[in-house]
Structure 1
Amino acid sequence: MILAPRQCLFLTAAGCILLIVVTLYQYCPIASDRKPEQSASSSSPASPTSNAANSTLGFQAIFALSAGPSWRTRGLLAAANLTGLEITLPPQPPIPADLITAFQTLGDSTHPARGASKAWLAHLDLIKHIHQSNLDTALILEDDADWDRRLRAQTPLIAAAVRNLTHFSPTEDNDDAPYGRAWDLLWLGHCGEYWEDGIETVVFDDPTAIPHAQYSGWAREYLARLPDRRRAVYRSYNPVCSFAYALSRDGARKVLELVGGGGDEAFDIAVMHHCRAGRLECLSVVPEVVHQYFPAERFGVKSLVDVGNGEVDGPGEEDFEAVMGSTENILESARCWALWRQTCLRQYI
């Protein structure tokens, strides 16, 4: 059929409009609530130290040392959920009573008490798991550990300080490690550390660090020698308690070789002695960023080490678990914030 000139003009105009609409649709995508995924080519590479803010704090894995479900693990997992941490709780192998007795007798001089021996063997079991898994790095937490709810903002600063202190020289092959690779053990959680002038130290601003006036523990006088409201990283001299420590691949192997045979007061003391002697490359973070959570003092809850040493256990956890306790040297407790929406800094007396 032959169309009249006016009809041809109309169809030509309609075709042009259709072409324009198709073109606009093709080059002007419709807005969506979904955010587009960033491709590797469209984003600049992140600094390795920024990876210390990820869900495993820049380590290949985080493990909690635990004898099983309890108020300790429930609070730990609540804090982990609040702060976005991925923590694995491997089943703890049974530790036969005869093995504990035999372990107590190892070594020539100092021997651990029974509760300390059992805890020591539990640490060794978990470190063996890390070694057998061939992990590059791993962080170990005791299951009553607590940390500041801003921990993931603290760790990149610590990672940068560790790299600085160890004079880490990155190459294309090893620059992916947030904390560098020149260490065996990072002591992130302890109950005190010594410091004096002359110790090579990296100090950095950290508004989340506990003020000197509020710090609790035997090391208060040594902390006072460092600048207030700042954090420091230096080579370990006398850290005590093993609330949180990270191991490199070599570090895990060395710890098993050096302290796997007992012969000291406790696991943390044995490791500390090897750190001080230079057989382990250990670094301490001061003030600590992980500490132990204490149930409310009036309930008289005992640690598993104390119970293992023969002390009478306190009340059942149903009596105290719902009552807020406290944590030393952590300004904004992740446990207490997760469970009670409050801070619970244990006051210095």
Structure 2
Amino acid sequence: MRSVRMGISSFLSAFAFVAFVWHFWHSTHAGSKSVPSVISASAAPGTRTHQNYAYDKQIRNETLGFQKVFVISLPERGDRLDAFALSSSLTGFKADVAHGVNGSTVPDAAIPSTDGLHKVNTYGMKDPHARDAVVGTWRAHLNIARTIVQERLSSALIIEDDSDWDVTLKDRLVDFGNGARHFSKHATGEKPKNPYGDNWDMLWLGHCAITECPAVDPHSSTDPNNPHPPEPTQLTQQRFLIENDATTPPPAHRFNFATIPDLSPYADTTRAVFRADFGICLYSYALSYSGAQKVLRQQAVRTKWAPIDLGMGEMCKDQAQPFNCIGVFPQLVDSHKMAGAYARDSNIDQNPKDDVREMAYTFNLKYSTRLNVDRLLRGEAPITQWPDDPEIVAAPGGTKYRVEDVQAGQTANVMPQGAVFANGEGQKTDGQPTQ
């Protein structure tokens, strides 16, 4: 009788497992707006190698393929750290807390240049807190760069505590890792040791604007005294395209504050990885050991004040001191806007105290982790934050990769035209969506 009971129990367990799998498959393939199963694929069939799987396994670990992950959080913002801890636990990674800095504790004498600093304002108005806010942010990011150097970390991912990411972040990073390795190859053809490649300084994963490096000949002379300048060549910039990614936000829901790559020639399910020329906002980025060294040095010798994101963006652009930046668009990490008082949004921007946001949202993320927390805790499939949009169905076969050359002078960065979110917030200019 005992063996019969065990047999029945085993049968019921197996049946329950099969039922769960069928239910999940059905929920992600039927008419619901939950995450389609195709997003878990990492590349087109037939393109995977043993080495690729080794890299993928590293990226799927608890530090997302980096030696450490840091979250920047002010000690007094325990609410933000609570939300971050919950979201990261639900997506399978952990982070060490790097305390934010109150800028009032950083004297002008500890800043390389204050030229322009005391003109800092918020929303075009003089703000007595603006100086301390931007200086505190600048110092907090430099503290992490210093930690990377002091602890001899090979790499670290840095995330701000109000950031959000797709529920399938690890899958998205696997795709991005393939692109990053393409742009950080060894000249000798040696396989990289790092899952994101070995020859990068910064990976810009979460931003509010980013531009591609122009396709120019790095050997051409700009010396006006050179009597025989070399003939211009048509060297190319490359884009590593991740196609068939059903988590890519539709163009109508892409919101950025400055120039971005023009992806209008491609399907809406396309992301691009590229060498970045500039960026704004540091929602999430990674530094290699050499990148952290360069950040400490270059920020210490500035002759004019710049917020840390603009300062690092300028490092990407200034190839007199090479700083290899690799970016992605649409971004993988962005800023979450919680429901409630606007005043809770930022410790830099002093928002109007009386304004209240009725509905939470996150920029540029279709399957936001923070907006799906309750569903994930219940074991339900996540859903898009734009349920009224036409459903974008990726083609069978999972995400696919290809490299496209962009001829010199043809690299297109465009200024976004504004966007409207699910709750009606955002700005609309001429009725055209962002790209």
Quickly name the TM-score band, shorter chain normalised: 0.7 to 0.9
Q: How far apart are 1:123 and its partner, in Å?
A: 0.9
Match of 1:138 in 2: 156
- 1:264 paired with 2:281, answer no
CA distance in 2, matches of 1:61, 1:125: 15
Match of 2:250 in 1: 211
- 1:287 paired with 2:293, answer no
Given the superposition, is the C-alpha separation of residues 108 and 121 from structure 1 closer, same or farther in structure 2, using an over 3 Å criterion?
Answer: closer
Match of 1:123 in 2: 141
Q: Check conservation: 1:235, 1:282, Cα contact below 8 A.
A: yes
The one of 281, 304, 323 aligned to 2:347 = 304
Q: How many residues align?
A: 297
CA offsets, 1:197-244, max 9 Å, x none?
Answer: 843221112221112222112357644445232111111112100000
Q: Check conservation: 1:79, 1:335, Cα contact below 8 A.
A: yes
Q: Check conservation: 1:165, 1:201, Cα contact below 8 A.
A: no
- 1:167 paired with 2:210, answer no
The one of 82, 94, 103 aligned to 1:86 = 94
Q: How far apart are 1:167 and its partner, in Å?
A: 3.1
Q: Check conservation: 1:212, 1:223, Cα contact below 8 A.
A: no
Given the superposition, is the C-alpha separation of residues 56 and 269 from structure 1 closer, same or farther in structure 2, using an over 3 Å criterion?
Answer: same
Given the superposition, is the C-alpha separation of residues 217 and 175 from structure 1 closer, same or farther in structure 2, using an over 3 Å criterion?
Answer: closer
Q: How far apart are 1:91 and its partner, in Å?
A: 4.1
Match of 1:338 in 2: 373
Q: Check conservation: 1:324, 1:340, Cα contact below 8 A.
A: no
Q: Which one has a larger percent strand, Structure 1 or Structure 2?
A: 2
- 1:238 paired with 2:278, answer yes
CA offsets, 1:157-207, max 9 Å, x none?
Answer: 1111111123346877x6431011110000000001124884322111222
Q: How far apart are 1:98 and its partner, in Å?
A: 5.4
- 1:57 paired with 2:74, answer no
CA distance in 2, matches of 1:52, 1:226: 30
Q: Check conservation: 2:103, 2:137, Cα contact below 8 A.
A: no
Q: Check conservation: 1:161, 1:233, Cα contact below 8 A.
A: yes
Q: TM-score, normalised by structure 1?
A: 0.75
CA distance in 2, matches of 1:238, 1:255: 15
Given the superposition, is the C-alpha separation of residues 84 and 203 from structure 1 closer, same or farther in structure 2, using an over 3 Å criterion?
Answer: same
Match of 2:203 in 1: 186
CA offsets, 1:291-331, max 9 Å, x none?
Answer: 01112366443411124xxx67679xxx98xx751100011
**SS of alignment partner, residue 80 of structure 1:** helix
The one of 277, 286, 289 aligned to 1:249 = 289
CA distance in 2, matches of 1:175, 1:222: 27
**SS of alignment partner, residue 153 of structure 1:** helix
Q: TM-score, normalised by structure 2?
A: 0.61
CA offsets, 1:125-165, max 9 Å, x none?
Answer: 12211211111110000111100010110111111111112
Percent of residue pairs identical: 27
**SS of alignment partner, residue 216 of structure 1:** coil
Match of 1:38 in 2: none
The one of 325, 338, 362 aligned to 1:327 = 362
Q: Check conservation: 1:116, 1:266, Cα contact below 8 A.
A: yes
CA offsets, 1:80-136, max 9 Å, x none?
Answer: 0110111111345x65735244356x4374437412111101111122112111111
**SS of alignment partner, residue 335 of structure 2:** strand
Given the superposition, is the C-alpha separation of residues 298 and 143 from structure 1 closer, same or farther in structure 2, using an over 3 Å criterion?
Answer: closer
Q: Which one has a larger percent helix, Structure 1 or Structure 2?
A: 1
Q: Check conservation: 1:200, 1:234, Cα contact below 8 A.
A: yes
Q: Check conservation: 2:103, 2:135, Cα contact below 8 A.
A: no
CA distance in 2, matches of 1:98, 1:79: 31
Given the superposition, is the C-alpha separation of residues 88 and 193 from structure 1 closer, same or farther in structure 2, using an over 3 Å criterion?
Answer: same
Q: Check conservation: 1:189, 1:291, Cα contact below 8 A.
A: yes
CA distance in 2, matches of 1:136, 1:83: 23
The one of 202, 217, 221 aligned to 2:240 = 202
Q: Check conservation: 2:205, 2:328, Cα contact below 8 A.
A: yes
Q: Check conservation: 1:66, 1:89, Cα contact below 8 A.
A: yes
Given the superposition, is the C-alpha separation of residues 197 and 169 from structure 1 closer, same or farther in structure 2, using an over 3 Å criterion?
Answer: closer
Q: Which runs of 5 or more structure 1 residues have no equivalent in the other structure?
A: 1-30, 34-43
Q: Check conservation: 2:210, 2:260, Cα contact below 8 A.
A: no
Given the superposition, is the C-alpha separation of residues 143 and 61 from structure 1 closer, same or farther in structure 2, using an over 3 Å criterion?
Answer: same
Given the superposition, is the C-alpha separation of residues 147 and 67 from structure 1 closer, same or farther in structure 2, using an over 3 Å criterion?
Answer: same
Bigger Cα Rg? 1
- 1:73 paired with 2:73, answer no
CA distance in 2, matches of 1:302, 1:314: 13
Q: Which runs of 5 or more structure 2 residues have no equivalent in the other structure?
A: 1-9, 14-49, 121-130, 216-236, 377-382, 387-420, 429-435
